[in-house]
Amino acid sequence: MHPLVIYVDKTGMSKKDISRACYALKTLLVLAGFSWRFVSSLPPEGADISYGVSVHDTRISILRARDLSCTRPQPRVVSCDDVFFLKFDESSPHFPPLLRLSNPGLRRHGNRLVLHEDIVFGTYYLLNGLHEASIKRGKWDSCDLSTSFLYSQDILQRPLVSQWASLLRHEFREHDPIPPWPNGKTYALALGHDVDYPEMVPWIESLRYLAQYKAGAKVRELIDILKGRESFWRFQDWMHLEKLRGFTSTFYFCSFKGSVFRYLTKAPDPFYDVHSARFRDLFSLLRDQGFEIGLHPSFLAYTSRQQFQEEKSSLEEASGVCVLGNRHHYFHMDPENPTRTAQLHFELGFLYDSSLAFSECSGFRRSACHPFRLYGETSGKELGVLQLPLTLMDDHLYWFGHTVPYPDDMAHVAALQASVAQLQGLFVANWHVRRFNSTFFPGWTRGFEHLLTLAKRGGDCYCDTAVAIARHWIFRENLLLTSSSCDI
Ligand SMILES: [Zn+2]
């Protein structure tokens, strides 16, 4: 594969700036499917892309933001040709006057393209959550969405980083980029189920049933709940639904056994015991049928490496598999610094994590609908664990529905699916196991089934377990890396 030549003008950049820029450029190029050769002086034969303070005679010139500090105020969102950009500099005196006067975002000069807004710094900024500094947190560290930059700017459902990668893929399409997904499929789908509360506590649920249905509650239903004839143990229902249509998913289990007392006083952890015979039988069934078993760490697992390790080992012992996938209960990574938790994931031997999402609203919390890696500020390199960013879960549609701009669940699923498919991205869905119970959650499987229908209808969707998708992505990433070089 012939690499793209990327000229990075280091003038005025610190070592850290250069390292972050290389990380961001690599990420964009991996997403787009190109290998690269980074150079710090313009070669006589020219370069494909330049990144610096002025326009060069390259196919694409990316103009660098003047201030690469991470303490800047939040940028402004501008759009051009349906692509959205972050405007970090309100005035850019080093830009040629003609370009400064032009519309924001990008401008074409014949075969050349000038990007006025810094998509390299923007990629680093978004993927690593620098825009999240303003977010206020509530109970259980839930994010107050109204204080989120992406939500307030109405770009939570527009994955900007993936858009920029798509722009590069299109501009250099004659270089034959490596397609993102196998067998000519356009986009990927990872289905998953967090296992929070699979064993109903009858007295709690009878109260909940009365609260939910009030005067409409039926005595017979109440008796069924109290006698244990209603169930949240719906694993086989999900497996059947998926198998019937040719899909396979991942179930994320919590191996830490909480209690009602702990729930009320300390942390909202699940209550079940993965070492019981019932769970051991279930693990055997899941393994035999090709479903993945992942970890759903307890609410505070990230605070103790030892505790986290014990939870992983405990699930591995109970399930008989090496656990490679992870999604935190309540998406609860270190709220001050999620990257610190991601570092822990790598040290504990996870291949991927899928916790970077907001509980209250669907979309792209780090503005990407592709697998990516976070940047380690200490090491100056990308972290070893892959991020599979969550797109949508049941709660987004049926619990926090009031914060979703689409009142219709089916339309919302279709809009997200179309946007991921258009960018050749990855759609990660999470439907909790108990949501198959239609007494408590009437109609909650509708959005999930619609997603499967859309995936089948187009014939262009690659669906596999999350770990298989992560392995595919890492293989592809390594292919690109072997033909890439950095002379900076
Ligand atoms: Zn959970």
* pLDDT for 80: 80
> 191 CB contacts (<8 Å, ≥6 apart)?
242, 247, 248, 249, 250, 429, 431, 448, 451, 463
Average pLDDT over residues 46-73: 90
The pTM score is: 0.94
* pLDDT for 99: 42
Ligand 1 center from residue 451 Cα (angstroms): 21
DSSP 115: E
Please report which confidence band the pLDDT of residue 98 belongs to, taking 50, 70 and 90 as the band edges. Answer: very low
Please report which confidence band the pLDDT of residue 67 belongs to, taking 50, 70 and 90 as the band edges. Answer: confident
> 50 CB contacts (<8 Å, ≥6 apart)?
6, 7, 8, 9, 42, 56, 58, 60, 61, 62
Ligand 1 center from residue 372 Cα (angstroms): 23
Ligand 1 center from residue 330 Cα (angstroms): 5
Please report which confidence band the pLDDT of residue 97 belongs to, taking 50, 70 and 90 as the band edges. Answer: very low
**Of 98-107, 290-299, 300-309, the least confident:** 98-107
Average pLDDT over residues 243-261: 95
Ligand 1 center from residue 194 Cα (angstroms): 6
Ligand 1 center from residue 420 Cα (angstroms): 25
Lookup: tokens for 46: 């020219």
Lookup: tokens for 243: 């198998």
Give how far Cα 76 sits from Cα of 81, 83, 324, 369, Å: 17, 14, 38, 21
* pLDDT for 402: 52
Per-residue model confidence as pLDDT tens digits over 315-339: 999 999 999 999 999 999 999 999 9
Give how far Cα 480 sits from Cα of 31, 35, 82, 351, 446, Å: 10, 5, 28, 19, 39
With 0-12 CB in 10 A as exposed, 13-18 as middle and 19+ as buried, what is 381?
A: middle
| Mean pLDDT rounded to a whole number for the chain | 92
* pLDDT for 407: 64
**Smallest Cα–Cα separation from 423: which of 140, 157, 196, 238?**
157
Per-residue model confidence as pLDDT tens digits over 181-239: 999 999 999 999 999 999 998 999 999 999 988 989 899 999 999 998 999 999 999 99
Lookup: tokens for 336: 């001050």
Residue 104 has pLDDT above 60, yes or no: no
Average pLDDT over residues 413-437: 97
Ligand 1 center from residue 125 Cα (angstroms): 28
DSSP 229: -
The residue to which tokens 């501008």 are assigned: 78
Q: Give the chain's count of helices (H) and strands (E).
A: 16, 20
Lookup: tokens for 443: 């109609």
